[in-house]
């Protein structure tokens, strides 16, 4: 079963696409076959297509990578650069193609009004850009601190309506060497989004004498241009195995293959959170599985909002499993809204997530070659131990 799951799931599967729909159906059938009851929560989203994008002046032509879900653009403007918020505040952006670099492009910006986390500094910068109204934006970026993308997209947001793209430092050096700053350039951003539909499935294994609910999730979608083996076909493979083996006399087990974790609107997650809006007190534990099974790593467990009883269970089961280690807390996954609601959370990932595994995520390198398939069984066993030992 495990190899079949990886074979089916490991492909680009951005939410709203045909490949994503195919995998939603596959997971739904798998979960029905192990006697789960299924809820299907429909939602609207957007899908994205891109083409060749360029910055041109005279005989010079530079490739630009369009931002995912950017508005299209074909036009000209004066190329002006800003390196800090203070510089940007002073620039007249009328008829300008704005080049952002250095302090302004150190890490990706959260999508506008992202429901789970929208830092004030991101909010201010996006609002400032919308007030300045440049014709288009080109961001100079490098290695993404939270994935393998290099260069990364500063914007990934269908609600941000200024056309945008990105280039790397080497391209900026060529632009500067050619003396093109403050010159009028021509820019084409070939980027198109369209409305689509998808759904969030939720599977339930009901307990005979339910005293609450344990939610176990793993996101099933990917960014564009990645097959997503480690992030997160591996998590979904673990999730399906857990769904098959878990039985609880006292707690309902809810299995959630989150659909749209990688999408700027987080639509599937939002539909699920609406579904459980009145069940906060019934959810005794949330387990999120994201990017486990990296070859050469162990399995790292981090936890949040645990009381003494649950902490004792976690520590006891960890000590009995040589391949399970304590990991550091992180706040960039489907567990985050549960943490904010005060629900006890357990996060399962690879022990080298921040020191090796991330270099593959969100890239074409995230293939089955990154996976240690034997780790699936160990993680499933560990989660089963947690659930069976969970306090009544």
pLDDT of residue 236: 98
Give the residues across from 46 on adjacent strands. 195
Sign, CA torsion 371/372/378/382: negative
0.85 surpassed by pTM: yes
Question: Above 70 in pLDDT, residue 1?
Answer: no
Longest dimension (CA), the chain: 75
pLDDT of residue 327: 92
User: Percentage of residues in the chain with pLDDT exceeding 90?
Assistant: 88
Select the CATH number that applies to the domain covering 52-189 from these four: 3.40.30.10, 3.50.30.30, 3.30.930.10, 3.40.630.30: 3.50.30.30
- pLDDT, averaged across the chain: 96
Query: What's the 3-state SS for the chain?
Result: CHHHHHHHHCCCCCCCCHHHHHHHHHHHHHHHHCCCEEEEEEEEEEEEEECCCEEEECCEEEECEECCCCCCEEEEEEEEEECCHHHHHHCCCCCEEEEECHHHHCCCCCCCCCCCCCCHHHHHHHHHHHHHCCCEEEEECCCCCCCCCCCCCCCCCCCCCCCEEEECHHHHHHHHHCCCCCCEEEEEECEEEEEEEEEEEEEEECCCCCCCEEEEECCCCCCCCCCCHHHHHHHHHHHHHHHHHCCCCCCEEEEECCCCCCCCCCHHHHHHHHHCCCCHHHEEEEEEECCCCECCCCEEEEEECCCHHHHHHHHHHHHCCCCEEECCCCCCCCCHHHHHCCCCEEEEEECCCCCCHHHCCCCCCCCHHHECCCHHHHHHHHHHHHHHHCCC
Distance in angstroms (rounded) separating the CA atoms of residues 364 and 290: 18
Stronger pLDDT, 346 or 391, i.e. the higher one? 346
**Tens digit of each residue's pLDDT (9 = 90 or more) over 186-219:** 999 999 999 999 999 999 999 988 999 999 999 9
Determine whether 228 is exposed, middle or buried from the number of CB atoms within 10 Å of its CB (0-12, 13-18, 19+): buried
Average pLDDT over residues 79-84: 98
- Poorest-pLDDT segment among 57-71, 128-142, 193-207, 319-333: 319-333
Tokens 């989660």 correspond to: 383
User: Percentage of residues in the chain with pLDDT exceeding 70?
Assistant: 99
Question: Above 80 in pLDDT, residue 290?
Answer: yes
**Tens digit of each residue's pLDDT (9 = 90 or more) over 367-390:** 999 999 999 999 999 999 999 988
**Tens digit of each residue's pLDDT (9 = 90 or more) over 141-189:** 999 998 999 999 999 999 999 999 999 999 999 999 999 999 999 999 9
Average pLDDT over residues 34-41: 97
User: Do 52-189 and 2-45+196-389 fall under one CATH topology?
Assistant: no
Question: Above 90 in pLDDT, residue 107?
Answer: yes
Average pLDDT over residues 227-252: 95
Q: Which two tokens stand for residue 374?
A: 């034997």
Please, are residues 54 and 63 in contact by the beta-carbon 8 Å criterion? yes
Candidates 124, 113, 119; CA nearest to 158 is 113
Per-domain residue ranges of the chain = 2-45+196-389, 52-189
Whether CATH 3.40.630.10 fits 2-45+196-389? yes
């Amino acid at each position: 079963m495990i190899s079949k799951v990886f074979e089916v799931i490991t492909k680009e599967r951005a939410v709203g696409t045909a490949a994503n729909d195919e995998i939603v159906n596959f997971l739904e059938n798998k979960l029905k076959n192990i006697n789960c009851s299924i809820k299907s929560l429909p939602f609207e989203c957007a899908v994205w297509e891109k083409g060749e994008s360029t910055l041109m002046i005279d005989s010079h032509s530079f490739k630009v990578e369009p931002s995912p879900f950017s508005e299209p653009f074909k036009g000209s403007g004066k190329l002006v650069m800003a390196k800090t918020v203070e510089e940007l505040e002073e620039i007249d952006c009328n008829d300008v193609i704005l080049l952002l670099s250095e302090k302004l492009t150190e890490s990706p910006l959260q999508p506008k009004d992202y429901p789970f986390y929208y830092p004030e500094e991101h909010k201010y910068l996006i609002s400032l850009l919308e007030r300045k109204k440049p014709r288009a934006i080109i961001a100079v970026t490098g290695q993404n601190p939270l994935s393998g993308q290099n260069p990364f997209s500063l914007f990934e947001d269908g609600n941000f309506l200024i056309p945008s793209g990105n280039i790397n430092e080497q391209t900026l050096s060529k632009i500067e060497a050619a003396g093109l700053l403050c010159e009028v350039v021509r820019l084409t951003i070939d980027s198109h989004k369209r409305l689509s539909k998808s759904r969030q499935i939720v599977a339930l294994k009901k307990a005979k004498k339910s005293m609450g609910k344990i939610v176990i999730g793993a996101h099933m979608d990917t960014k564009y241009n990645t097959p997503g083996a480690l992030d997160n076909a591996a998590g979904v493979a673990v999730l399906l195995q857990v769904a098959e083996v878990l039985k609880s006399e006292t707690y309902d087990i809810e299995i959630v293959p989150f659909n749209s974790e990688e999408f700027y609107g987080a639509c599937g997650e939002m539909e699920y959170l609406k579904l459980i809006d009145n069940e906060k007190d019934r959810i005794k534990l949330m387990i999120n599985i994201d990017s486990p099974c990296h070859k050469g790593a162990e399995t790292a467990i981090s936890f949040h909002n645990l009381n003494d009883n649950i902490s004792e269970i976690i520590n006891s089961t960890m000590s009995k499993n040589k391949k399970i280690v304590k990991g550091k807390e992180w706040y960039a996954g489907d567990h985050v809204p549960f943490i904010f609601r005060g629900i006890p959370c357990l996060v399962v990932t690879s022990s080298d997530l921040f020191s090796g595994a991330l270099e593959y995520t969100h890239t074409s390198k995230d293939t089955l070659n990154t996976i240690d398939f034997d780790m699936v069984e160990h993680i499933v066993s560990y989660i089963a131990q947690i659930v069976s030992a969970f306090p009544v």
